[in-house]
Amino acid sequence: MPTIATHDGANIFYKDWGSGQPIVFSHGWPLSADDWDAQMMFFLKQGYRVIAHDRRGHGRSDQPGAGNDMDTWVADLAALTEHLDLRDAIHIGHSTGGGEVARYVAHHQDRVAKAVLVASLTPNMYRGEDNPSGQPPEWFETIRGGVLGNRAEFYRFVPENPFYGYSLDGAEPSEAIIANWWRQGMAGGALAHLASVDSWLEDYTADLEKITVPVLVMHGEADQVVPFASSVPRAVDRLQKGSLKAYPGYPHGMLTTHADVLNPDLLAFIRS
């Protein structure tokens, strides 16, 4: 498997397919590069070079006891882009990966052409006076409890209900999609998955405000993980060149459930 060794010796798995302008994908919690299969295959056929990695502690990457935090994950991504000498790249991040992309782009814009934040936790997703639509403290504690308890059973519940919105009126659950989410989640480590909750409690406002390249914010209005009003349009307001694409009725995992809609929209933004 292709891997790179980071500054502390952790091996990070990545996929690197095709040639042309690079598109780099950062996945959500608790998934892996496999969650981008629909996008990677689509853009590969469009003539792009597509790269996706398993975040430290996730998927096929190492599960070290240290470095399970957003700053280290961003440093790992920077090490990967330097190793592959990626320039003029488009970075696309989903959910937790949106925070990763925002912080990476804020500090490495010389290598970046554009960025996309999909169902991203940016600028922050916790409830407060400035964000009354964010998730309450007990929501984060429920996630922690699920990871620390029967993780296998909890990971069977998450994709069916909040992640893919299968509890919404008119939604038709896909057992295959649920099983694929469970497979990816259980391949990762409980320690990194637990530490991810801390990254959800961070504020990414300063990162967004540093970004000068064009950024597309894509968000489903029925998102049950990062509520639409919690993230959008607050993120767009903090970006110098931000634009918004909203999707009525779409869930948090819309890149999977509605790839046929989002992929052409992503392509239009990249080509614009």
Break the chain into its structural domains and give their ranges.
3-271
* pLDDT at residue 169, as a whole number: 83
CA–CA distance, 106 with 211 (Å, rounded to integer): 5
CA–CA distance, 143 with 55 (Å, rounded to integer): 19
Q: Which residues contact 71 (CB under 8 A, 6 or more apart)?
A: 103
Q: What is the pLDDT of residues 18-41, one digit of tens each?
A: 999 999 999 999 999 999 999 999
Query: Active-site residues: which are they?
Result: 95, 223, 252
* pLDDT at residue 232, as a whole number: 85
Average pLDDT over residues 59-74: 97
**In the predicted model, is pLDDT for residue 87 greater than 90?**
yes
The topology (CATH level 3) of 3-271 is: Rossmann fold (3.40.50)
3-state DSSP helix/strand/coil % of the chain, to nearest 5: 45, 20, 35
Token reading at 7: 């500054």
Q: Which residues pair with 95 in a beta bridge?
A: none
Whole-model pTM over 0.95: yes
Token reading at 76: 């790992």
